Structure 1
Amino acid sequence: MPLATLICLVVAIHDGDTLTARCGNATNYQQVRLRVAAIDAPESQQAFGQKSREHLARLCFRQQAMLQPVEKDKYGRTVAHVRCGGTDVAAAQVGAGMAWVYMPYAVDRPGLTVLQDRARAQRTGLWSQPRPQAPWTYRHKHARQESQGSSA
């Protein structure tokens, strides 16, 4: 069962799918690090990593956000459906070619796949590259390279 909707102010953008929001009133607020549910954006060092972050900043930075928490991830971040200024952030990032749909967590969001297919067909954003690499593949590859480098 999802938790109650929170209304917060976005105070930091970390990458294309992670932000920090200040929730509650001025005398008793809590900062929450959030991961946008159902998407995975390019890592900062990846192609389109910075553009994805900038796009999320244009959507959300210093904006009021409505958050529907889903769960906590293994890093302690709150995974949530996020709307900034009435815009569904996951849909905006995927539709602009700034994030992938993360299928294991997008089963209840079939519209995201439609947006991703359209962005890919129009070669929008990261889909303009000849062979865009999914962030989960990038992380796996680089984690393996780092572990091999430290054992050499």
Structure 2
Amino acid sequence: MDGTVSGGRRVSASCVTDGPAGYVKVTRLLFCLILASTSGSAAGQICTISSVLDGDSLRVHCSQQEEMTQVRLAQIDAPELRQEHGKASRSFLRFICPVGMKVRIESRGQGQHKHTLGTVICNEINANIAMVMAGHAWAYSRYSPATKMHKLQDKARANHTGLWRRPDPVAPWEFRKMGR
């Protein structure tokens, strides 16, 4: 299954898996994501990552602001840290967007907790897309109904990639409803 990503380029989600077990090859994944995410657009704010909070949130410092800004990756929802696969999800985001890295934040507005919602570009890799393609986050239906993110999620699930290795992973919004 293919999807169109930033800049109109097409990427096959099958490029993130190798072999019948669906094992993620990180270097292959990153190569595919670089090809998919390069848009030629320099829009957005350049910031430095100060911490990766979980699989869909980070804290950044932007030169034009005195205070740190919390950014939530738009259109995705990663497992909570206390949830199964939560720490693995955060580790993957730390791998592709390490602390100290300069990143481009393409703001999509404010979230319900007054944080910035946005697309985070790390080394020309769209971290939002990377998290879903690698099976470390869900496409967040509440804010992105029937989008390319869902197609990428479906491919990760079909290949048993990341959190989809488990037969019935619990979506983060369901986990939160259970009050865990």
Give the TM-score taking structure 2 as reference length: 0.72
Q: Aligned pair 1:79/2:117, yes or no?
A: yes
Structure 1: stretches of 5+ with no match in the other structure: 144-152
Over the aligned positions, Cα root-mean-square deviation in angstroms equals: 1.6
Q: Between Structure 1 and Structure 2, how many residues are aligned?
A: 137
Q: Match for residue 77 of structure 2?
A: 40
Which secondary structure state, in structure 1, belongs to the residue aligned with residue 113 of structure 2?
Answer: coil
* Equivalent-residue separation in structure 2 for 1:73 and 1:117 (angstroms): 25
* Equivalent-residue separation in structure 2 for 1:95 and 1:22 (angstroms): 27
Alpha-carbon offset, residue 29 of structure 1: 4.4
* Equivalent-residue separation in structure 2 for 1:123 and 1:29 (angstroms): 43
Q: Aligned pair 1:105/2:149, yes or no?
A: no
Q: Match for residue 154 of structure 2?
A: 117
Which of 1 and 2 has greater Rg? 1
* Equivalent-residue separation in structure 2 for 1:103 and 1:87 (angstroms): 22
Which secondary structure state, in structure 2, belongs to the residue aligned with residue 103 of structure 1?
Answer: coil
Q: Report if the CA contact (8 A) 1:24-1:30 is conserved.
A: no
Pick from 53, 61, 74 the counterpart of residue 90 of structure 2.
53
Structure 2: stretches of 5+ with no match in the other structure: 1-42
Q: Report if the CA contact (8 A) 1:17-1:39 is conserved.
A: yes
Q: Report if the CA contact (8 A) 1:70-1:80 is conserved.
A: yes
* Equivalent-residue separation in structure 2 for 1:90 and 1:101 (angstroms): 9
Q: Match for residue 101 of structure 2?
A: 63
Q: Aligned pair 1:24/2:63, yes or no?
A: yes
Q: Match for residue 146 of structure 1?
A: none
Cα displacement string for residues 11-33 of structure 1 (whole angstroms, at most 9, x for unaligned residues): 100000000111016xx644111
Q: Match for residue 49 of structure 2?
A: 10
Tell me the amino acid that sits aligned with residue 6 of structure 1.
Q
Runs of 4+ in 1 over 3 A off after TM superposition: none
Tell me the amino acid that sits aligned with residue 45 of structure 1.
R
- Segment of structure 1 superposing worse, 29-38 or 88-97: 29-38
